[in-house]
Amino acid sequence: MKSLKEQDPEIYDYIEKETQRQNDNFELIASENFASKATISAMGSVLTNKYAEGYPGKRYYGGCEFVDEIEDIARDRAKKLFKADYANVQPHSGASANAAIYLAFMSPGDTLLGLDLAHGGHLTHGSPVNFSGITYKAEFYGVEKDTGRIDMDKVRDKAKKVKPRMISIGASAYPRDFDYEAFREIADEVGAFLWMDMAHTAGLIATGELNDPLQLCDVVSTTTHKTLRGPRGGMILVGKDGENKLGVTARKSGRVKNWSEVLDSAVFPGSQGGPLMHVIAGKAVAFGEALQPEFVSYQKQVRLNATAMANAFTNRGYDLVSGGTDNHLILVDLRSKGLNGKIAEESLDRAGITVNKNMVPFDTESPFVTSGIRIGTPALTTRGFGKEQFEQVAELIDKVLQDPENEERLNSIRSEVQAMCEEFPLYDFVTV
Ligand code: DSN
């Protein structure tokens, strides 16, 4: 058989260009990371050929003896990593994992109470343009204008008023940790299921850098490619004592007989067909990596670097939503600098610095312009950047934002970015 380069040089060329882009730029998108060569190898394997609808030992196809082993290893490693009773590694993405959770816990028209997208929440937590907001009745809590933080008394008041069937926690752009105990109390008071979508923070949670939702929430979803540093994909988990968490509540409500079967069947056949076995193998590899001691130091460094960036920006007079960070990201409100997110993203891009424009709470700009940028540390920390390098990154970002249309300055910063990237090499291959 021919190699990709021989078979399809056009596609090979674009993969090579993208590899070079990742190697030569500062990757600061908070939801991105760099998967290991081993994880990428598993994804680029013949496992992509295999149909395996069903679950290990109960498939609808023959020839599943090896993929069964792989899926079992992925589930076992995930359970060990998160001290969980249950793991489903089949969701193709975070949004697919969330779709299965809705299917398991909600009926069309039921009420969800989630964090407002405009305050850092996620599309799948009830946005009117997403299936979640179209199928279910979505109500929202937000952050406070003066603190940028969630006020739990206000969440309680809202929950009492709207009586949700399920409360969701989790965010795409919230720089602070969550108070799961308070959320649990509120959910119990109003008789709601409690769901945490830890897509952004799963790696930090696995290593104890952030509060653990697994033991307090009924169900937890995640992606596997953000702080968790695995292949692009999703997963559903239930913490220890799943029977008490879900079995008892669900049976009382008369909706569910066996809680783990209900979750499994919400993924397949409820919302997906054949699982992506090559990606599940990549998840197994990445979970194996996450169980190593180096992953604990990596996550610690992700947070230290975010704090160093937050301090560096504050010292340069930037406004940060909530005044800083507890996790891997900062949200910079650019209004006091007379800038918007679109201008900032575009000029930083020209200097080799990749961030995304982002709404800030109570934003006055449209989502296509925005007043802020979101900056995350997971990817550059994977490259080996520490506090000192992140302070330099903040300095370079500030230089760009001081004069965003100055092409000469952008080009000179571009060279500094490239030099730092060369000091911390990333991928030495195009395809595996
Ligand atoms: N698109 C992801 C992010 O950037 O946060 C969330 O799904």
Question: pLDDT tens across 5-55, in order?
Answer: 999 999 999 999 999 999 999 999 999 999 999 999 999 999 999 999 999
Q: Where in the chain is the domain with CATH 3.40.640.10?
A: 42-290
pLDDT at 184: 95
Give the residue whose CA is nearest to atom 3 of ligand 1.
Answer: 31
Residue 332 has pLDDT above 60, yes or no: yes
CA distance 140 to 417: 40
Residue 389 has pLDDT above 80, yes or no: yes
Please give the mean pLDDT across all residues of the chain. 96
| 213-242: pLDDT as tens digits | 999 999 999 999 999 999 999 999 999 877
Q: Among all residues, which ones are annotated catalytic?
A: 51, 53, 197, 223, 226, 232
Q: Given 3.30.70.270, 3.40.640.10, 1.10.150.120, 2.30.110.10, which CATH number is that of 42-290?
A: 3.40.640.10
pLDDT at 261: 87
Residue 279 has pLDDT above 90, yes or no: yes
- Per-residue tokens: 246: 């879900």
pLDDT at 247: 64
Give the residue whose CA is nearest to atom 2 of ligand 1.
Answer: 31
pLDDT at 287: 99
User: Which distant-in-sequence residues (6+ apart) come within 8 Å of 304 by Cβ?
Assistant: 386, 387
* Ligand 1: centre distance to CA 279 (Å): 19
Ligand 1 atom nearest to 95, measured from its CA: 7
Cβ-contact 183, 218 below 8 angstroms: no
- Give, to the nearest 10 degrees, the angle between helix 259-267 and helix 94-105: 130
pLDDT at 250: 56
* Ligand 1: centre distance to CA 406 (Å): 30
CATH topology of domain 293-423: Aspartate Aminotransferase, domain 1 (3.90.1150)
Q: Where in the chain is the domain with CATH 3.90.1150.10?
A: 293-423
- Ligand 1 touching residue 94 (CB < 6 A): yes
Residue 243 has pLDDT above 90, yes or no: no
pLDDT at 255: 56
User: Which distant-in-sequence residues (6+ apart) come within 8 Å of 42 by Cβ?
Assistant: 231, 278, 281, 282, 284, 285
Q: What is the dihedral sign for C-alpha 123, 342, 373, 91?
A: positive
Distances (CA, A) of 27 to 111, 177, 314, 374: 38, 23, 21, 12
- Give, to the nearest 10 degrees, the angle between helix 65-82 and helix 277-290: 40
How is residue 148 annotated by DSSP?
Answer: -
Average pLDDT over residues 88-109: 96
Q: Please, how many CA atoms are within 13 Å of residue 167, restricted to the half-sphere of its CB? A: 26
- Ligand 1 touching residue 31 (CB < 6 A): yes
- Ligand 1 touching residue 172 (CB < 6 A): yes
pLDDT at 254: 59
* Ligand 1: centre distance to CA 172 (Å): 6
DSSP string, 151-199: -HHHHHHHHHHH--SEEEE--SS--S---HHHHHHHHHHHT-EEEEE-T
Q: Which residues pair with 138 in a beta bridge?
A: 112
Percent of the chain, pLDDT > 70? Answer: 97
122, 197, 222, 227: residue to mutate for ligand 1 pocket, most atoms within 8 A of CB:
122
- Ligand 1 touching residue 201 (CB < 6 A): no
171 torsion bin: left (phi>0), alpha (psi -120 to 50), beta (else)? beta
Cβ-contact 160, 189 below 8 angstroms: yes
| 166-199: pLDDT as tens digits | 999 999 999 999 999 999 999 999 999 999 999 9
92 torsion bin: left (phi>0), alpha (psi -120 to 50), beta (else)? alpha
- Ligand 1 touching residue 382 (CB < 6 A): no
Phi, psi of 375 (to 5 degrees): -125, 130
* Ligand 1: centre distance to CA 181 (Å): 26
The burial class, CB within 10 Å (0-12 / 13-18 / 19+), for 307 is middle
